């Protein structure tokens, strides 16, 4: 067992510097000095799992709150780059100028009194929830068996002729009404679901929304002021893309690649392209079981479409080469080969020899784990193990993010866990990964719980965090004994009671009671300039506010291993 730092609280201690604690507080702070802590590397390209988590989080929030946040924190210039850039491609369907007609969607810089900022949020996150009749697409079956999909243009149509705007070429097609056998209105918006999955983080959503709100209010003039340069809109491919061994990757596609590709397809591609029996949300998206590829159906051509985009198909920058070829393999083997053989390209040695030569296969694919990318807010209540060997398990742990890294507790750099069965500070640690995400509610594994990952700076093994107020004893001898001989459950009510936690700005305040004494506990992350010692990095502080008490209380500050 390690040696415990035990503090005795007398009088009115309101934080670790009061009542003669300054020296001890400085000592403990020095013991947990954070040197060179860096957060996770976040690029503009977004992993699929993070995009899914971002979408789910935004959909759960009040649109009015998102508008207010975008107004305060969004950057319209960055939002303009996202709007016009190739990753989202909003400008392909929406005009923001004062000349020319609407495209497939409304002119977002034109005056539209019914389009409130809150409605903009809803349109981005759930485009099919409410479709303006002027922008509802239709599928027309002509008497000679042709199927034409487009946007009816009421202003150009008359009683004799229907004018449809083609969804990809934007050309107007004139169809005599007496040649129409059937016309079906689409219940899906031309704007596909899941566009926010192409964003890197919440901030990019706020930037995009701020841009849309500003051009709505400022009109085409504001849109011209925010128009990005050509250099700002250029696609920047990773360096490895010019050195990919395409032939080798295609040769090695196997059953395992098929399974990986199926998982990717069902997580993303299915939204627009659909299945064999059900159409996707975007009428212009190719139905692989029956349609014809416009930019080549061989593996390398499809790879280029995924990499660079084509038409309304946006580039997929989150995918590394192996993921691209995995999903291409799935499309070819599950859709083209059995159901659309005319589009199934036969791979030969001469074809493989014709592909660009390279020496690498790019970065390793990252697992699709949306639970690790979700924004849980500033804390996450769960069971956590600090260290190994079962000596320090916070069965009812409140993990609190200490730093101000955006994205919530899962994306922080430093954390503390308070365990409210034993009322102890179970651990403080820093890393780039928070926890290992093991467990039935994360990765589906049974009989296991998450472990913290990174550098453990302070740990207090499983035991009471406060001494018995009646006896002053720190022994864990009053809780329930489990079948494995270990102690479980809360301390007796006469000893300690958990009251809950509160949010104060970015800080979590934990409320509990030791004996008859109420306690408020919170944590701080401080720069060294606030302290007397010339320490580099940051400092962890534990702050306590206690009510009156009939006699001194003893608490565990830290355990020396």
Residues 199 and 276 in one domain: no
CATH of residue 169: 2.30.30.100
Contacts of 116 (CB under 8 A, 6+ apart): none
Note whether 331 and 269 are same-domain residues: yes
CATH code (residue 346) = 1.10.760.10
Q: What per-residue confidence (pLDDT) applies to 3? A: 57
Residue given tokens 């696609």 in the structure block: 235
The predicted structure's pLDDT at residue 498:
97
174 and 225 share a domain?
A: no
At 91 the pLDDT is 83
Residue finishing a domain among 349, 370, 391: 370
Report the candidate in 485, 367, 489 with the shortest Cα–Cα distance to residue 437. Answer: 367
In a domain, 43, yes or no: no
What are the CA-CA distances from residue 39 to residues 449, 458, 529 (Å)? 24, 19, 21
Residue 426: its pLDDT value, please? 97
Q: How many CB atoms lie within 10 A of CB 41?
A: 6
Q: What is the pLDDT along the chain (561 residues), one digit of tens a residue?
A: 455 555 555 433 333 323 333 333 333 333 332 222 222 333 333 356 677 788 888 988 999 999 999 998 888 888 888 888 877 878 888 888 887 666 788 888 888 777 888 888 988 898 888 888 888 888 888 888 888 888 888 878 888 899 888 877 778 889 999 888 888 888 888 887 778 887 877 888 998 999 999 999 889 999 988 888 776 676 678 889 989 999 999 999 999 999 999 988 987 788 789 999 988 877 778 999 999 998 889 999 999 889 877 766 777 877 899 999 999 999 999 999 999 999 999 999 999 998 989 999 999 987 767 788 778 889 999 999 999 889 999 999 999 999 887 778 998 889 999 999 999 999 999 887 899 998 888 876 777 899 999 889 899 999 999 999 999 999 999 999 999 899 999 999 999 999 999 988 888 999 999 999 999 999 998 755 544 443 345 688 999 999 998 889 999 999 876
Residues 384 and 361 in one domain: no
pLDDT for position 44: 32
Residue 453 lies in a domain: yes
Neighbours of 97 (CB within 10 A): 12
Total-model pTM: 0.47
Q: What pLDDT score was predicted for residue 248?
A: 97
Distances 217 to 111, 120, 172, 220, 483 between C-alpha atoms, Å: 8, 13, 30, 9, 66
Strand ordering across the sheet containing 180-185: 172-176, 161-166, 147-152, 138-142, 180-185
Q: Does 524 fall in a domain?
A: yes
Whether 518 is in a domain gets the answer: yes
Same domain, 77 and 165: no
Domain boundary pick from 341, 370, 399: 370
Boundary (domain end) residue, out of 370, 389, 420 = 370
Report the pLDDT value the prediction gives residue 49, as an integer from 0 to 100: 65
Which among 317, 439, 454, 309 is positioned nearest to 384, based on CA atoms?
439
Say how many C-beta atoms besides its own lie within 10 A of residue 114's C-beta: 6
Domains in the chain, number: 4
Q: Is residue 85 part of a domain?
A: yes
- pLDDT value of residue 101: 62
Whether residue 402 contacts residue 523, with contact meaning beta carbons closer than 8 Å, is answered with yes
Query: Is there a single domain that holds both residue 413 and residue 521?
Result: yes
Q: Which residue has the tokens 């995400």?
A: 437
Do 109 and 223 share a domain, yes or no? Answer: yes
366 in the same domain as 378: no
**Do 383 and 256 share a structural domain?**
no
**So what's the pLDDT on residue 87?**
73
Contact 426, 357 (CB under 8 A): no
d(CA 354, CA 304): 15
Do 14 and 147 belong to one domain?
Answer: no
Based on the domain organization, do 436 and 481 belong to the same domain? yes
Residue 261: predicted pLDDT: 95
Q: List the domain range (segments joined by +) for residue 117.
A: 48-130+191-233
* Strand (E) or helix (H) holding 481: strand 480-481
Q: What is the predicted pLDDT for the residue at 300?
A: 93
Place of tokens 């702070």: 29
Per-residue confidence (pLDDT) for residue 38, from 0 to 100: 26
Q: Is residue 42 part of a domain?
A: no
Q: Is 423 helix (H, G, I), strand (E, B) or coil?
A: coil
Domain assignment of residue 219, yes or no:
yes
Residues 196 and 174 in one domain: no
Torsions phi, psi for 313 (to 5 deg): -75, 120
């Amino acid at each position: 067992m390690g040696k415990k730092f035990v503090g005795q609280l007398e009088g009115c201690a309101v934080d670790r510097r009061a009542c003669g604690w300054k020296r001890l507080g400085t000592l403990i702070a020095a013991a947990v000095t954070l040197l060179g802590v860096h957060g996770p590397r976040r690029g503009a390209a977004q992993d699929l799992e993070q995009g899914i988590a971002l979408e789910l989080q935004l959909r759960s929030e009040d649109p009015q709150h998102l508008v207010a946040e975008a107004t305060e924190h969004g950057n319209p210039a960055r939002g303009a780059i996202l709007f016009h850039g190739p990753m989202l491609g909003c400008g392909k369907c929406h005009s923001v100028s004062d000349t020319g007609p609407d495209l497939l969607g409304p002119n977002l810089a034109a005056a539209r009194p019914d389009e409130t900022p809150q409605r903009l949020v809803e349109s981005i996150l759930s485009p099919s929830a409410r479709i303006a009749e002027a922008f509802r697409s239709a599928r027309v079956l002509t008497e000679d068996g042709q199927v034409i999909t487009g946007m009816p243009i009421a202003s150009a149509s008359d009683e004799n002729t229907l004018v449809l705007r083609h969804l990809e070429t934007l050309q107007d097609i004139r169809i005599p009404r007496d040649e129409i056998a059937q016309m079906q209105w689409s219940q899906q918006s031309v704007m596909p679901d899941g566009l926010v999955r192409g964003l890197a983080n919440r901030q990019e959503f706020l930037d995009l929304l701020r841009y849309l709100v500003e051009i709505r209010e400022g009109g085409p003039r504001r849109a011209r002021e925010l128009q990005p340069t050509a250099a700002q809109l250029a696609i920047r491919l990773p360096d490895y893309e010019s050195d990919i061994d395409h032939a080798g990757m295609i040769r090695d596609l196997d059953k395992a690649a098929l399974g990986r590709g199926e998982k990717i397809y069902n997580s993303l591609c299915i939204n627009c392209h659909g299945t064999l029996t059900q159409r996707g949300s975007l009428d212009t998206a190719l139905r692989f079981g029956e349609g014809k590829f416009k930019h080549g159906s061989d593996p390398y051509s499809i790879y280029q479409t995924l990499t660079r985009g084509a038409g309304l198909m946006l580039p997929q920058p989150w995918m590394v080469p192996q993921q691209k070829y995995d999903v291409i393999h799935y499309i070819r083997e599950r859709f083209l080969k059995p159901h659309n053989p005319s589009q199934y390209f036969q791979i030969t040695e001469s074809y493989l020899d014709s592909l660009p030569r390279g020496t690498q296969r790019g970065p390793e694919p990252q697992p699709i784990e949306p639970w690790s990318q979700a924004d849980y807010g500033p804390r996450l209540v769960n069971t956590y193990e600090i260290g190994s060997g079962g000596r320090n398990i916070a069965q009812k742990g409140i993990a609190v993010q200490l730093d101000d890294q955006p994205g919530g507790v899962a994306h922080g750099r430093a954390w503390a866990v308070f365990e409210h069965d034993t009322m102890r500070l179970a651990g403080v640690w820093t890393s780039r990964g928070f926890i290992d995400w093991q467990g039935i509610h994360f990765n589906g594994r049974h009989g296991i719980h998450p472990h913290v990952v990174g550098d453990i700076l302070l740990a207090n093994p499983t035991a009471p965090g406060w001494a018995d107020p009646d006896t002053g004893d720190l022994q864990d001898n009053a809780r329930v004994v489990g079948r494995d001989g270990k102690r479980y459950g809360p301390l007796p009510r006469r000893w300690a009671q958990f009251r809950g936690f509160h949010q104060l700005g970015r800080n979590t305040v934990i409320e509990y009671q030791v004996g008859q004494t109420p306690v408020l506990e919170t944590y701080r992350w401080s720069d060294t300039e606030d302290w007397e010692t010339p320490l580099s990095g940051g400092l962890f502080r534990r702050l306590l506010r206690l009510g009156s008490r009939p006699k001194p209380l003893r608490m565990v500050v830290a355990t020396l291993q």
